[in-house]
Structure 1
């Protein structure tokens, strides 16, 4: 596996199942799935993300600290833009553990490290936007337009991603019966990590999802990306319908 977030990866699937158990009020079953994900992880990315979830289910601060530091160790080895977005969350959790263990110096050091990584994204792209709209190279996508998913909702930002599969999913979920389109886009101004996904389930912004109030310029179109199965799309549509106020892409 490369370091790109892939919802079809078997370790990510185990973690998603574990989160489902958490949501159903079954923490013991969730913990077992997270341990299984850790035991079956085969590369540094999988070990980083699995250790993070194992850490969250530890009963005492010493064990939590051990697992969060394990997650951080693998994250640091990756030197990956998306994984770096998890550093604020990782260092923050480590700081809280040291605080609970009455080590204020180490707590302060890790709180400062957490804060130091909370910067404007430095992702260089390329970036993609998924929709069912027919657009041309040179067109500008702007905020204040209606949502791709809810015609009653006006968007204050325009959303995009650095993962073509994420843009493909957004295109598949967008309303309308035109064909799905994934456009290559360039931000014309500042952008930020999408708060709808950042630190919500997974640490940081592993899906490399962003938003901007400045226009996106269409610079090309992508015609090949990983398509979701009908069953996967059904599950995503259910999730979209139940997440009031959350936006995908």
Structure 2
């Protein structure tokens, strides 16, 4: 694995987890989107992708967007770049190494209730069709 060639910070991670600056977000825990542990940790160089991550994350905690830095190599996220967005316009990445939290985005604008419901409906359709597989 190598570093994604065109990736440039800042990087973001959207979640409902409550962590502090300096903490490490590690792979190997239950995913924000799947009911299983994944061997990768996911992040993005776009705030838009991180907003979706926070809004769609499972759990009851407050939606949060952390500014993170990878501690090791990372690659394009094949779940998005190969399946939905060729060329990686979402600038989505994954790593087997932790992400260090270096800050939190205090103010951000979420999607409208209609946009959020449309995304959730689309994800539900994928699940019903058995096409919601995460490449791990």
TM-score range, shorter chain: 0.7 to 0.9
CA contact (8 A) 1:165 1:225 kept: no
CA RMSD of aligned residues (A): 1.6
**Do structure 1's residue 229 and structure 2's residue 118 form an aligned pair?**
no
Paired residues for 1:1-249 under 5 Å: 120-150=4-34, 152-241=35-124, 242=126, 243-246=131-134
| 3-state SS in 1 of match to 2:107 | coil
Distance 2:62 2:102 in 1: 19
Shift of 1:216: 0.2
> Structure 1: 5+ residue runs without aligned partners?
1-118
> Would you say how many aligned residue pairs link Structure 1 and Structure 2?
128
| 3-state SS in 1 of match to 2:93 | strand
Which structure shows the bigger proportion of residues in helix conformation? 1
Give TM-score scaled by structure 2 length: 0.86
Distance 2:10 2:73 in 1: 15
Structure number with higher relative contact order (C-alpha < 8 Å, ≥ 6 residues apart): 2
Give TM-score scaled by structure 1 length: 0.49
Distance 1:199 1:148 in 2: 20
Change (3 A) 1:236 1:154: same
